Amino acid sequence: MLSNMAASLVTHDRIKTTLTKAKALRPFVEKIITKAKNAAAKTDPKDALHLRRLAHADLRDENALTLLFNEKHKEFANRNGGYTRIYKLGPRDSDSSEMAFIELIKADDAGYKKSKGRKPAKAKQAAKPTKAAEAAAEATVAEAAPEADGEAKS
């Protein structure tokens, strides 16, 4: 099953399947793509042929293998792993299985920008006065109030 799905993914760049199958397919395909990249980098044809035969043991579709080793490996040349991306689609109507797209990512795809965490707390503190500042303001108001009453009585 993984071999057939991998052949479809290499041929079509994107397939729709269940989330469980997509998660199982990801490491399977990424290992084959790494073999194709390493075969292209080898100067000795015997080493490249060996890697191609190792990949053929997993990916048994000759057309998909030829496409991957001759053309598609160039798309991943500047990428160190992470050749696939999984998009969750939600449940299937018939049996409520979680569905997903799995697709090949090009080397020039930057992906998502990572957030740098939470925003600094200083921005929030500037908008709200601190408890100490509120207490100091209340104390000032409390001290001023008796003096004002005393001046009015005299």
Render pLDDT for 81-109 as a digit per residue (tens, 0 to 9).
899 999 999 999 999 999 999 999 987 77
Does residue 51 contact residue 35 with C-beta atoms inside 8 Å? yes
Rounded Cα gap, residues 140 and 44, in angstroms: 85
Report the domain count for the chain. Answer: 2
Residue 95 shares a structural domain with residue 128: no
Residue 77 shares a structural domain with residue 31: yes
**Residue at 51 is within a domain:** yes
Q: Is this model's pTM higher than 0.95 or not?
A: no
**Residue at 113 is within a domain:** no
The domain of 142 spans 121-153
Query: Which residues in 27-144 belong to E strands, given as ranges?
Result: 84-91, 98-104
Mean pLDDT of 26-53: 94
- When mean pLDDT is compared across 18-22, 57-61, 65-69, 139-143, the lowest value belongs to 139-143
Does residue 35 contact residue 43 with C-beta atoms inside 8 Å? no
Residue 55 shares a structural domain with residue 21: yes
**Residue at 110 is within a domain:** no
